[in-house]
Amino acid sequence: MTERQPLTRSKIGVLMGGQSSEREVSLKTGEAVYRSLMRSGYDAVAIDVGPALSQTLREQSIEIVFLALHGPGGEDGSVQGFLETLGLPYTGSGVRASAIGMHKVVTKTQLAANAIPVPRGTVVLRGTTATLGRTLTACKLKLPVVVKPASQGSTIGVTIVREPSQWKEALRLAHQYDEEAMVEVFIPGHEVTVSLLGGSDGAVTGLPAVEIVAPDGFYDFSAKYEKGRTQYLCPAPLPAAVSRQIRALAIETYRVLGCGGAARVDFRITPTRKPYVLEINTVPGMTETSLLPMAAGKAGISYDLLTEHILRSALLRAGVGSFRAVR
């Protein structure tokens, strides 16, 4: 236990696991967060989310929830809404921002309406006949294109279609996870991410950007979570003007969507240094290979301090509206 006093004496439930395709990553995030809270002197319990969640929360006398759930059911607004009906404050973004942030099509629509640059593309619904030629012509694209589910994380179900022969399988894979498959222009260049921390005063802090150098240029699931497969450059070796630009775009994305707590905005930056926002993650990973802790560490914020900073978003929510105050 540290000498610092905990921010709250309330009992904290760390929700992790669940049943999404990101279950295993969520368990790693949740376990790391739980250990951090315990090191810092909090009264915390790790909870693997299942059908009896409501009963578990009551039996464990949980007063505050730290969300470590990834994917559908965890960061799409559903568990956030459930917790609000129980009057339990939770970390991170609220129902609306979580739902928008999880759905890449809605995210892009909202960002484009606010003049934030996003890749050109279209949506192919499951069950419709969409030939490659017709799809490319309709949105003025050419190969290669990226095909991905509208509501998934961790690059699950994503294919870079470089040859016409890959088209049908790419759609099949994306539709396996969502009825909507996004088809976007493939943007060559750098993959960069900017992590953000919201403060109680409404200020948003942009952490040092991280450039991701993945094997074969594709930051897929195994490249993300297998140690040693991907190189991370933090801070990203970008011109100062570009670093300032993507930080400003990340903060604007966070604010436009109405996010809270921690978030991470992913970019592609062209060889001519033009950035495009790909998506936002409203429950960023907190595993040993995750990008948020990496960026925070570069900014001088330890893992335990980062966990406490995220916890503050729940404490702020606890004092607002119908949520009961933290004792």
Active site residues: 22, 154, 225, 264, 266, 279, 281, 285
Which helix (H) or strand (E) element contains residue 136? helix 132-138
- Show Cβ contacts of residue 188 under 8 Å, excluding neighbours closer than 6 positions: 270, 271
Beta-sheet strand order (sheet of 180-185): 121-125, 180-185, 145-149, 159-161
Of 287, 295, 285, whose CA–CA distance to 250 is shortest? Answer: 295
Angle at 198 between CA 1 and CA 17, to 5 degrees: 60
CA atoms within 13 A on the CB side of 34: 18
DSSP assigned state of 216:
G
CA 327/CA 308 separation, integer angstroms = 17
Of 105, 44, 4, 20, whose CA–CA distance to 311 is shortest? Answer: 44
DSSP assigned state of 131:
-
Residue in the block written with tokens 């993300």: 224
In contact, 93 and 256? CB cutoff 8 Å: no
DSSP assigned state of 286:
-
DSSP strands (E only) in the chain: 12-16, 44-48, 64-67, 121-125, 145-149, 159-161, 180-185, 190-198, 204-206, 210-213, 231-233, 262-269, 275-281
Q: How, if at all, do strands 275-281 and 262-269 pair?
A: antiparallel
CA 224/CA 226 separation, integer angstroms = 6
